[in-house]
Amino acid sequence: MLSTGIKGRKTTEVTPENTAEAVGSGTLPVFATPAMIALIEATASESVAPFLEEGSSTVGTHLDIAHSSATPVGMSATCETELVEVDRRRLVFRVVVTDAKGEIGSGTHERFVVDNAKFMSKAESKME
Residue 115 phi, psi dihedral angles, 5° rounding = -85, 120
> What are 57-80's pLDDT values in tens digits?
999 999 999 999 999 999 999 999
Give φ, ψ of 9 to 5 degrees. Answer: -150, 130
pLDDT at 65: 98
pTM: 0.96
Q: Distance between CA 118 and CA 48 in Å, rounded?
A: 20
Residue 64, in any domain of the structure: yes
Give a yes or no: residue 14 inside a domain.
yes
Tell me whether residue 83 is exposed, middle or buried, using C-beta atoms within 10 angstroms of its C-beta: 0 to 12, 13 to 18, 19 or more. buried
pLDDT at residue 76, as a whole number: 98
Structure confidence by residue, pLDDT tens digits, 2-12: 999 999 999 99
| Angle 7-12-25 from CA coordinates, rounded to 5° | 110
| In-domain check, residue 1 | no
Q: Give domain status of residue 2, yes or no.
A: no
Domain that holds residue 26: 7-127
Nearest CA among 116, 93, 115 for reference residue 106: 93
CATH of the domain at 27: 3.10.129.10
69 domain residue, yes or no: yes
Helix or strand run (H / E) with residue 123? helix 116-124
pLDDT band at 1 (very low <50, low <70, confident <90, very high): confident
pLDDT at residue 110 tops 90: yes
DSSP 21-63: HHHTS-SSSBB-HHHHHHHHHHHHHHHHGGGSPTTEEEEEEEE
- The pLDDT of residue 81: 98
pLDDT at site 10: 98
Q: How many domains does the chain have?
A: 1
